[in-house]
Chain A
Amino acid sequence: MVFDLNKCIGCQTCSVACKVLWTRDEGADYQWWCTVNTLPGRGHPRDWEAMGGGYRDGVPQTGRRPTREEWGGGWDFNYEEVMYGGKGQSVHLHHLGEEPKWGPNWDEDQGAGEYPNSFYFYMPRLCNHCTKPACVEACPRDAMYKRPEDGIVLRDENKCRGYQFCLEACPYKKIFFNFQREVSQQCILCFPRVEQHVAPACVRQCPGRAVWFGFMDDESGPIHKLVRKWEVALPLHAEYGTEPNIFYIPPVGPSRLNDDGSFDADTPRIPTEYLERLFGPRVRSSLATLTGEMQKTRGGGKSELMDTLIAYWWKDMFKPFDREPAEIQWQDLPLVELPESKGAR
């Protein structure tokens, strides 16, 4: 998957598409498999980049599990009272229970920097379905596995006994614990859709046309072009050592403003040093390629890169997974039974 951070507007349609499809049940309701966070920011779970996990020089690194508070979310509201309580304007919508301290997009739009050179951008994150998934290796029961046919990382909820070593080992902290069912859960890359050649929900529903989906080794496809050929799409925190399969085109962003109000065309408002911390030193050449090709087309020239980045045809962004979900008779597909609750609940 490739996300173009120049296009992401933080509308959260992808987060909600996933939420509505997969994480509505009790225990999953606080889980946001796909989140879009404002950067610079503390992210979701809060300060996840300091929680360890992953590999360094091939050696597993100790990590910790996020706490329920660091994920936040899953709030209940007084809908009944507001809608049907007959109390008119004397009551307003509010959360029930403990005061929320964090949520899936808590620090949205805060960003960093000083006016007029404040800066921020949006970053969607989901399970990276890594090539070297630390979660798969960490599970002593082999409950997590990576499918050979499409590389999707899944868990066998019959085998999972809620040990949560996978949560500790994942450096991106995109595995969640279902406190009700006592199993770990994470983005399944919409595998029931992918198996029917339908793109994942987050991909297909993006109104900004900011995300591509496909196989890396399809040399005619956009993923290969953006990651391998043009090298503008980069992994997040490659130093975590798990070889994530979600890539990001870094945000070029606006130029800095001088004190006199003129543009400093040579200095981006988003500091390149900050982007290096996320995407590594290759971000410089990626940004240079992007700005170079953008200049070319502004001058009337042709650019294969820009032709790939501009979504002329929406379905080209996720071929061959361009089947209509409405076409599929989902009810005719074999149903996977959820395992019975464990532990004599």
Chain B
Amino acid sequence: MKAVKLQLATRTLLNPGAAQWDKVPVEEVRLAGMPVHAQPSRYVRTAWADRPVGAVRFLSVRAAHNSRDIIFRLEWADETENRDYANGTAFPDAAAVIFPMNGDAPLETMGSAKAPVNAWYWRANFEEDAAENLISRGLATEEVSGSGSVKARARWGDGKWRVIFVRPLTASERQGVEFKNGKPVKVAFAVWEGSNQERANLNAYSKEWRELIVE
């Protein structure tokens, strides 16, 4: 997978509907539900034993950069726009772009103590442009780390979510993953369907790391 180099202002690419995105090759990513048997809580394992996890199965991803910022555009079909907790009956929709902090990490456990992952996390009830920079060292251990300068902008329409994640290519080591031209970086994706009560480690994710090359 390539993060295509474009001579465009970040401002332009921050718009999920920008025509320029059509020129960026799309990566079709198949998602699968997080396995229930691996969930850290016995309550969750029992309550979700017979329930389908990971309602969203297909994700389209485009990646680009302009030497300053790296930008990901995620798009997936979702009939229901879940923007909040719906008075206790649902959860907000959410998505994440995930990287190993240091080269490699176990994806199925969202990192480990020795090999953490960095997740750029957006949720539909965040304010405009807001995103969280998370460091995870295993299932359910995620912590918000600094500002991370990660931003996200989302639009829902025509039964689809379109979410842009953006971050400067250069970030301090403590805050998140590093990108170096030409050096492949592993990347994965996760989507939470709020109307299916998905949150925490109940989500759909790309089961394997993909190699991302920053052109």
Contact = CB atoms under 8 A, between A and B. Distances in A.
Interface in A318-345: 342-345
B193 interface: no
Contacts of B132: 342-344
Interface residues of A, number: 30
Contacts of B85: 177, 179
Sorting the interface of chain B by its residue count into under 10, 10 to 19, 20 to 34 or 35 or more gives 20 to 34
A60 B43 contact: yes
B130 A168 contact: no
A137 to B, nearest CB: 6
B42 to A, nearest CB: 6
Interface in A39-69: 59-63, 65-69
B43 A345 contact: no
A165 interface: yes
Contacts of B7: none
Name the prevailing secondary structure of the B interface residues.
loop
B199 A344 contact: no
A161 B43 contact: no
Nearest to B45: A60
Contacts of A62: 46-47
B9 interface: no
A168 B47 contact: yes
B21 interface: no
B170 interface: no
Contacts of A203: none
A66 B88 CA distance: 7
Given A140-B201, A141-B140, A343-B125, A67 B87 contact: yes
B41 interface: yes
Name the prevailing secondary structure of the A interface residues.
loop
A270 interface: no
A163 interface: yes
B46 A60 contact: yes
Interface string B132-145: 10000001111010
A63 B43 CA distance: 9
A164 B87 CA distance: 13
A165 B41 contact: yes
- Looking at A59, A66, A163, the one whose CB has the most chain B CB atoms below 10 A away is A163
A18 B144 CA distance: 32
Given A69-B87, A140-B201, A343 B141 contact: no
A70 B126 CA distance: 26
B144 to A, nearest CB: 7
Contacts of B41: 137-140, 165
B126 A137 contact: no
B44 interface: yes
A165 B198 CA distance: 11
B14 to A, nearest CB: 16
A233 B127 CA distance: 50
Contact of B43 (A68, A70, A162, A165): A165
A169 interface: yes
Contacts of A168: 43, 47
Contacts of B131: 344
A140 B40 contact: yes
A59 B46 contact: yes
Interface string B192-215: 000000011100000000000000
Given A177-B85, A345-B127, A345-B130, 6 more contacts: A134-B43, A137-B41, A165-B44, A177-B88, A343-B123, A345-B126
8 A-B pairs with the lowest CB-CB distances in the bound complex, closest first: A344-B130, A138-B43, A68-B87, A140-B140, A140-B41, A62-B47, A67-B88, A140-B40
7 contacts: A67-B87, A138-B43, A161-B142, A164-B199, A165-B44, A169-B43, A343-B125
Interface of A: 59-63, 65-70, 134, 137-141, 161-165, 168-169, 177, 179, 342-345
